[in-house]
Amino acid sequence: MKIISINAGSSSLKFSLFDMDDKKVIASGLFERIGIDGSSYTIKYNGEKIKTEAELATHTDAVKILLDKLVTLNIIKSLDEIDGVGHRLVHGKDKYKESCLITDEVVNDLIAFKDFAPLHNPANVLGIQAFREVLPNVPMVGVFDTAFHQTMDEEAYLYPVPYFWYKAHGVRKYGFHGTSHRYIAKTISEKLGRDNLRIISCHVGNGGSITAIKDGKCVDTSMGFTPLAGIMMGTRSGDVDPSIITYVMEQEGLNAKEVIDDLNKKSGLLGLSEISSDMRDIVSAMDSDDEEKKAKARRAFLKYTRTVTNYIAEYYVLLGGVDVICFTAGLGENSEPFRKKVCENLACLGVKLDSEANKVMGEFKKISSDDSTIPVYVVPTDEELMIALDTLKLIS
């Protein structure tokens, strides 16, 4: 049985084709600059990688080429081999509490919820429509980023603002990266052979969120109404005092959208360091001979790790103790200095790192020492596989 996982952006389409018998990726790739000059696609299969320039006016063009290539490159014999298509969908508000078969109602809801994810929901719809056109008889499943967080209770998801904002306009915490956090919870539970775990899942990439999980269910998460909230990120500020917005508008002569844009794109590691949004650059700048550069990198690194520590500490209390802390995504899986600093900050909880094990990059590994009160693991995330597994379950 073969299933394609799709992540459609406004000008891109990522795919992974899985053989569900062994849950392995047979082919994967990316269609880029759809609807923009200079479009191209990359397909990886059998240890090979092909990159080709092609005219991709619409997402449907990308899907047609993708399916054609899967056959002509002999990755599959015919399109009949594709049993299902799973789509990563971003915002399902409080209506979608789990993955579901994609119907007209789902598509209409994605459009209706577009103000909640203006960049993502319309792009997700383009991806669905393209597959509907080219593979009309293959069942499709939608896997929402927000769904996993729907188990949060009122105390977690309400903001202390006029209740009317929530009732009339849906102003509440939704949370994101849900598919990744769910994958982490499932994987660590399987590896440790226990379902009743209190987990703190730290998905820290360019965007990042920390989630408190109990018995496989989300209890609280750091992102909020939008992905701007929570920990400091590559270019996003994370939590700030909202009064800053009107103050900076007045001081800089900007409008509210422009200030929010700066909080999304010019803040975080990039904004504070004035060097880069990439942790690798920050870590290497901390070793620089240039004292000023070193100081800039250091303040960004310390603030970043402080905000992650703060959420872990909050969720430790919320969960009434923690059975396991997991690190995942770009920094979580790869950045030794980032994990080291966060774990040092947690020393008072009895967290102790095994510095040799902490050198790991992109592999499942326990990185805490045996006498650490809380075991700490690196768990590589796999949102594509999670989407394929949900698809398999719902079409079977």
Q: Which active-site residues does the annotation give?
A: 145
Count the site residues for ligand ADP by CB under 6 A.
12
Q: Tell me which residue has tokens 């508008």.
A: 249
Side by side, the strands of the sheet bearing 2-8 are 48-53, 40-45, 24-32, 13-19, 2-8, 82-89, 140-144, 100-101
Q: For residue 53, what are its two tokens?
A: 């320039």
Buried b vs exposed e over 13-52: b needs ≥16 C-beta within 10 Å? bbbbbbbbeeeebbbbbbbbebeeeebebebbbeeeeeee
Contact at 8 Å (CB) between 219 and 319? yes
Which residues on adjacent β-strands are paired with residue 101? 141
| CB 206 to ligand ADP: min, Å | 4
Report the helix count and the strand count for the chain, using DSSP H and E: 14, 14
Q: Which is nearer to ligand ADP, 304 or 316 (CB)?
A: 304
Residue nearest to ligand ADP (CB): 330
The span of 60-68, 209-217, 254-262, 331-339 binding ligand ADP (CB under 6 A) equals: 331-339
Q: Is 375 in the site for ligand ADP (CB under 6 A)?
A: no
The radius of gyration computed from the CA coordinates of the chain, to the nearest angstrom, equals: 22
Of residues 116-175, which lie at the interface with ligand ADP (CB under 6 A)? none
Q: Which is nearer to ligand ADP, 273 or 345 (CB)?
A: 273
Q: Is 9 in the site for ligand ADP (CB under 6 A)?
A: no
Query: Which of 40, 206, 226, 310: binder of ligand ADP (CB under 6 A)?
Result: 206
Q: Which is nearer to ligand ADP, 7 or 121 (CB)?
A: 7
Q: Which is nearer to ligand ADP, 316 or 327 (CB)?
A: 327
Q: Which is nearer to ligand ADP, 86 or 207 (CB)?
A: 207
Q: In terms of DSSP H, where are the helices of 21-162?
A: 59-72, 104-112, 121-134, 154-157
Of residues 240-279, which lie at the interface with ligand ADP (CB under 6 A)? 278-279
| CB 335 to ligand ADP: min, Å | 4
Q: Is 330 in the site for ligand ADP (CB under 6 A)?
A: yes
The dihedrals phi and psi of 76, each to the nearest 5 degrees, come to -130, 160
State the virtual CA torsion across 91, 224, 147, 390 in degrees, nearest 10. Answer: 80
Q: Is 205 in the site for ligand ADP (CB under 6 A)?
A: yes
d(CA 338, CA 23): 31
Query: Which of 86, 92, 127, 207: binder of ligand ADP (CB under 6 A)?
Result: 207
String marking each residue 277-296 x if it binds ligand ADP according to CB under 6 A: -xxx----------------
Chain contacts with ligand ADP (rule: CB under 6 A): 205-207, 234, 278-280, 329-331, 334-335
